[in-house]
Every structure is written in structure tokens, then in C-alpha cells.
């Protein structure tokens, strides 16, 4: 029985996991697809480097085109990362009629539409389950499990590094800089953590989720992004006092055919299921018209969890090969992309401001909100020692993004306001 031959681009953390699973789960793969799976060629930077997994030296190459153009290779698995060069490699791979599996969310967020179109044109599959939330099968669930439903909202924790940092800050009162350093030492954060802590990594994943969930060509530039680097222990302390937990939340929402996609630190009620997702774990909450609310939870990164998603995609590709239907599963976007305007985006808001501790200060502030019909759900007012100021913490009822932005601008120019310290979206209150 002819084995299916795999070419691997990359042999780092995930690539090593892929090789391990293919070796150790060969009986399972045989049972699922009816033939063996063999790794034929592996692209590496250095052949002599010591690795997490043993691979015969004869299989290693430093030339990507030894993998891409090998006539015996059926499936290319890309786990090397990068965008521009990797895009060209995968375009060349599908032009060589290779099936493709990738774990590259950066690539798929930027060039996903182009790559999927090229794969379909060449009669090839391009699967990318591992690009979002590691070992959680969220993309397959959207495409297959919830295919008959109409998704109107997806909200989740899709970056393990920031979730680890915010968990430590919340549970142990640790400072942001100290927890970031710990995350780097543990390998959860890169030496340059910008993509994680500024929300860029999560934004790429939300663009992919929104593209699939809403069947629109959503681009990375369509995602509004705010990271966690400015979050303070005071912000977290006050949010806890009001019954909230802070998380970096990705939100994709559709109403009346128009969508909003964002990534930002947000406050969730302590009773919300996402508030209990701690450390490096990920979770995605999906709201469907028919199914209601579902949540997908699990490890968002790591060698074997992510490799499991990669090899699951490989199984899907191999099943299609056996049936002769490769390249037929991709579906073009059903809807034209329409983004919400600022006056169509509505949410509750957390606001922390320092004001002059004098008679009439609070009245001036409340009048700005009441003029736009924005009311308060929760209020804390505390004196600030040695400054003559007071700190006011407010959680509003729903306000449009347009109204809240204008209120903030007016607050900053108000004579009784010393400083607007922070603002955060509040989600999951059920209203």
C-alpha cells in the first residue's frame, strides 16, 4: 500500500511535534486513512544542529525547493513561520500540485485569501487549523460543526502570553514588567514580545476567525487593536473590586450585515466562563443563532497541542486524496465586507479619572454623559492622598464608540479633570 509522503518546512518546536506524532501515531493514521504516512524531506536552517526529535540526516535539507519540487512528496507542511518568503514557497508548492498544511497565522491573516484562491485553482487543499488557538479545533468547528448555523459573535482569549501575564497580575498583584520577564524566562514570551503584548498576534487570529465565521474577506487592517502594555495594577485592582476580571479579548461581531473586529484589554464579570481561563490557556466563545452559546477551551500553544492540530489537518488532506476531492472544500466568501461605523459599535465602558476634590466636580462630569444619554451602572469615588484630587471609577451602561470617544475628548478639556487614567471595554454582562 503506497505511503503518503510528507515534506516538512521547519523543524522547530511545532515541526518536532509533528514528526513525533507521525511516528508515534502511525497505527491511528493507518486506521483513519488506510495507508502509511512518511516524512520524506525536512527543511532546516542547519543540518548539524541538535534537535528535540531524531530525524535521519539524509532527510534534512537547507534548500526549500528540494522539498517543494520533490515529485514524490504529496503534502507540504509549513511550520517555519515568516510571511513574504513563506508566501512564495506555498504559492510555488500549490503550483507544483502539492497539498498544503500550515500553522502560520501571520501568513494566513495577511495572504490567506490569495493562497486559498491559488490552492483551489490548482486543485489543492490548503488547511490551517493550527494557525488559531493551537490545539483547540475552533476553525474546523466553524467550518464543519457549525456550518448550518449563522454566527453573530465570537469572543475569546486567543493569545496565551498575554493571558499568562494578566493572570499573574490579577492573582498575585505582580507588576507588568516583572511578569513579562517571567514569561520570557519560561518561554511563553519572545525576547521581543511586541506582537503578543500589543495585541498584534491576537488580531491576526481574529481576522482569520472573522473571515471564516462571517464568510467575508476580513483583513488584518480591519481589526481595531489595543495591547496590554499600559495596563496597571491599579486598573486590575479596581476592576476586581467591581467584580470584573481583565483579559485581552478578541471580539468579532455581526449585526445587520455589518461587522466589527477588535482586540483589546476588556473587563469580564467574574462569573463569565472566559474569566476562569487562566495562564497560557486559550478559549473562544461562539454565539450562533440556532445553537446559542458554545465555548472551545484548551492549550493555545506548545509543541504537541499545535502539532496535533497540524496532523489533524494532514488527516483531512489525506482523506480528500483518497476520495479524489482535493481543492474542492474551499468556499468563496458569501458576503461583501461591510464594517460598522463608530456610531454602530456599542459597549459598556470602564473609566478611571482623577478629578479635583471640590464641590461640583462630579456634577460637571455626569452632565457630559447625560447629554449623550449615557448612564452609569457602577461608581467608585475615593480621595487621593496628598494631591487634593479624587479618583472616580465608572462603569457605564452601553454607549456607542462615537459618543464615548467624544465624551473622553471633552473630559480631558474639563477644568475639574486632572487626568483620564484609563478606559476599558466591558463585555459579557448579558445586556
The answer to whether 376 touches 404, Cβ cutoff 8 Å, is no
The residue among 244, 259, 179 whose CA lies nearest residue 211 is: 259
Catalytic residue among 41, 98, 105, 205: 205
Distance CA 332, CA 215 (A): 8
33 Cβ contact list (under 8 Å, min separation 6):
4, 315, 318, 319, 322
Q: What is the distance between the alpha carbons of residues 264 and 424, in angstroms, rounded to a whole number?
A: 8
Residue with cell string 486559498: 116
Say if CB 152 and CB 254 are below 8 A apart.
yes
Do residues 35 and 102 lie in contact, with contact meaning Cβ atoms separated by under 8 Å? no
Q: Which of 277, 253, 271, 267 is nearest to 158 (CA)?
A: 277
Judge contact between 398 and 344, C-beta under 8 A: no
Backbone φ and ψ of 256, nearest 5°: 55, 40
Nearest to 398 by CA among 350, 364, 362: 350
Strands 223-225, 346-356: pairing is unpaired
Q: Identify whether the C-beta of residue 378 lies closer than 8 Å to the C-beta of residue 395.
A: yes
Taking each helix axis from N to C end, the angle separating 303-323 and 13-24, rounded to the nearest 10 degrees, works out to 60
Tell me the sheet residues that pair with 306.
none
Q: CA–CA separation, 428 vs 348, rounded Å? A: 10
> In the annotation, is 337 catalytic?
no
Where in the sequence numbering do the catalytic residues fall? Answer: 205
Amino acid at each position: 500500500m503506497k505511503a503518503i509522503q510528507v515534506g516538512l518546512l521547519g523543524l522547530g518546536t511545532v515541526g518536532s511535534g509533528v514528526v513525533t506524532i507521525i511516528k508515534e501515531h502511525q497505527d491511528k493514521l493507518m486506521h483513519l486513512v488506510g495507508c502509511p504516512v512518511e516524512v520524506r524531506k525536512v527543511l532546516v536552517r542547519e543540518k548539524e544542529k541538535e534537535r528535540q526529535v531524531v530525524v535521519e540526516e539524509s532527510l534534512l535539507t537547507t534548500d526549500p525547493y528540494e522539498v517543494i519540487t520533490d515529485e514524490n512528496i504529496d503534502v507540504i507542511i509549513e511550520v517555519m513561520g515568516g510571511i513574504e518568503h513563506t508566501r512564495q514557497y506555498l504559492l510555488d508548492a500549490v503550483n507544483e500540485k502539492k497539498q498544503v498544511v500550515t500553522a502560520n497565522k501571520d501568513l494566513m491573516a495577511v495572504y490567506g485569501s490569495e493562497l486559498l484562491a491559488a490552492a483551489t485553482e490548482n486543485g489543492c487543499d490548503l488547511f490551517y487549523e493550527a494557525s488559531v488557538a493551537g490545539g483547540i479545533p475552533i476553525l474546523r468547528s466553524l467550518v464543519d460543526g457549525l456550518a448550518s448555523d449563522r454566527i453573530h459573535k465570537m469572543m475569546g482569549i486567543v493569545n496565551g502570553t498575554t493571558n499568562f501575564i494578566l493572570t499573574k497580575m490579577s492573582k498575585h498583584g505582580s507588576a507588568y514588567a516583572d511578569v513579562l520577564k517571567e514569561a520570557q524566562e519560561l518561554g511563553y514570551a519572545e525576547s521581543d514580545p511586541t506582537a503578543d503584548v500589543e495585541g498584534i498576534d491576537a488580531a491576526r487570529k481574529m481576522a482569520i476567525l472573522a473571515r471564516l465565521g462571517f464568510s467575508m474577506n476580513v483583513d488584518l487592517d480591519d481589526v481595531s487593536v489595543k495591547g496590554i502594555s499600559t495596563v496597571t495594577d491599579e486598573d486590575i485592582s479596581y476592576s476586581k473590586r467591581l467584580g470584573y476580571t481583565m483579559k485581552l479579548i478578541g471580539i468579532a461581531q455581526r449585526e445587520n450585515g455589518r461587522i466589527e473586529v477588535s482586540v483589546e484589554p476588556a473587563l469580564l464579570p467574574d462569573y463569565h466562563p472566559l474569566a476562569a481561563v487562566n495562564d497560557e490557556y486559550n478559549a473562544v466563545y461562539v454565539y450562533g443563532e440556532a445553537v446559542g452559546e458554545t465555548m472551545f477551551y484548551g492549550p493555545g500553544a506548545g509543541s504537541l497541542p499545535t502539532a496535533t492540530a497540524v496532523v489533524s489537518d494532514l488527516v483531512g488532506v489525506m482523506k480528500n486524496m483518497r476520495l479524489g476531492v482535493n481543492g474542492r472544500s474551499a468556499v468563496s466568501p458569501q458576503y461583501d465586507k461591510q464594517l460598522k461605523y463608530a456610531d454602530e459599535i456599542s459597549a459598556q465602558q470602564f473609566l478611571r479619572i482623577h478629578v479635583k476634590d471640590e464641590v461640583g466636580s462630579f456634577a460637571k462630569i455626569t452632565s457630559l454623559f447625560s447629554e449623550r444619554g449615557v448612564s452609569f451602572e457602577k461608581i467608585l469615588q475615593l480621595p487621593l492622598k496628598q494631591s487634593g484630587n479624587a479618583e472616580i471609577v465608572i462603569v457605564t451602561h452601553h454607549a456607542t464608540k462615537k459618543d464615548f470617544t467624544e465624551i473622553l475628548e471633552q473630559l480631558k478639556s474639563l477644568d475639574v479633570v486632572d487626568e483620564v487614567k484609563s478606559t476599558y471595554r466591558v463585555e459579557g454582562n448579558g445586556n
